[in-house]
Structure 1
């Protein structure tokens, strides 16, 4: 039992190639640089640099795990917008201190969940908006402008770079599809994309995977299973 518990801390094997690591790394660097540069042109370098932490974290999601639910356009735009408004509201009522910053991060999480735009870097943004540097704090409610400009620039960079490097982004919406798994017995309806979506909802936990990803994984698994089956048939025939 103890070994099984310890094994949970061992990282699983990665399923991506070093070429994909390099592609994502270059995208993270270019996307962050572009976002900070554009923001600095309009609001000054101190304000832009104050936002670089959340932007760098968002870049990892948008370029390295762009298929995840937390990396989609509404996640970053909605997440940044919610975190900023919630934080500014907390500042208005409670001021700028550590307690207010932590409260803002928690309230931002609840708001993002309600609006289906959960984006982890927005939690860091909520802390930064409350514990702002003098240049950012002096903007007051207008700090929403550099925040959203930076988020929009990061999203534009991800849209351009990912698709130019043959990584489809953003994810396509789910479409009705035939059963993913053929019925094993008469009367068995099989598995559909709608079933996958309901299963994700039943798990009642934060899972950074979409029904589309699960569908693609199941279809790929079926193809590998068919190839293996054909290979075993030929091996037995020989």
Structure 2
């Protein structure tokens, strides 16, 4: 039992190549630099640097795991907007202290879930907006401008860089799903897109994967299974 518990703490194996790590790393650096630089041109370097933490975290998502639901355009734009608005409202009623910052990040999470724009770096942004440096605090509601400018710049950088390096972004719109994903065997009804939706809902936890991703994974697995089956048949025939 103890060995099994310890094994859960170990990192899972990754399925990406070092070349992809390098591609993502360069994109993270360029995207963060571009966003902070452009924001500093309009609002000054101190304010731009105040936002660099959440931007760096967003860059990791948008360039390294761009296929995830947390990295899609609405996630970063909606997440940053929700976090900023919620935090400024909290500041208006409760001021700027640790308790207010913790309250803001909790409410921001609820709003992001409600609007389907969950973006973890926006949680850091909510804390920063409440516990802002003097330059950022003086902006008040005008802080929305540098925040959203930075988010848009990061998104534009991800759109350009990912697609130029042959990584499709954002995730393509879901195509109409076939009624049956896996061909049924005798006595087996097969798996449908609706079955995947219900299975995800049954797990009652946020999973950064879409039913479309699961369908593609299942079809790809079936492809390799068929190739293996044909190979076994041919080897026995020889």
CA distance in 2, matches of 1:189, 1:75: 36
Residues 90-142 of structure 1, C-alpha deviation per residue, up to 9 Å, x if partnerless? 00000001111011011100110011100000000000000001110010011
Using the TM superposition, give the Cα deviation of residue 200 of structure 1 relative to its aligned residue in structure 2, in angstroms. 1.3
CA shift for structure 1 position 197:
2.3
Matched, 1:176 2:176: yes
The structural deviation recorded for 1:189 is 3.4
Q: Which runs of 5+ in 2 are unaligned?
A: none
Coordinate RMSD, CA, aligned: 1.0
Any conservation in 2 of the 1:176–1:193 contact (CA below 8 Å)? no
SS at match of 1:138: helix
Q: Name the counterpart of 1:28.
A: 28
Paired residue for 2:89?
89
- Aligned pair count reads 237
- Confirm or deny that 1:203 pairs with 2:203: yes
Give ranges in structure 1 of 5+ residues lacking alignment: none
Residue 31 (structure 2) pairs with residue 43 (structure 1): no
Could you tell me whether the CA contact under 8 Å between 1:174 and 1:212 is conserved in 2?
yes
Q: Distance in 2 between matches of 1:112 and 1:25?
A: 27
1:20 to partner: Cα distance? 0.3
* 1:237 aligned residue: 237
> What's the counterpart of residue 6 of structure 1?
6
- Cα deviation code 1:147-173 (max 9, x no counterpart): 000000000100111111111111122
SS at match of 1:81: helix
Quote the residue 1:216 is aligned against.
216
In the alignment, the residues of structure 1 paired with residue 63 and residue 194 of structure 2 have an alpha-carbon distance, to the nearest angstrom, of 28
- TM-score for the superposition, normalised by structure 1: 0.97
> What is the rounded CA distance, in whole Å, between the counterparts of 1:158 and 1:215 in structure 2?
25
Contact 1:174–1:211 under 8 Å retained in 2: no
Distance 1:234 1:127 in 2: 62
Where do 4+ consecutive residues of structure 1 move more than 6 Å? none
Equivalent-residue separation in structure 1 for 2:172 and 2:193 (angstroms): 13
1:99 matched to 2:99? The reply is: yes
Deviations along 1:52-106, whole A, 9 cap, x unmatched?
A: 0000000000000000010000000000000000000000000001111011011
User: How far apart in 2 are the matches of 1:203 and 1:172?
Assistant: 25
TM norm structure 2: 0.97
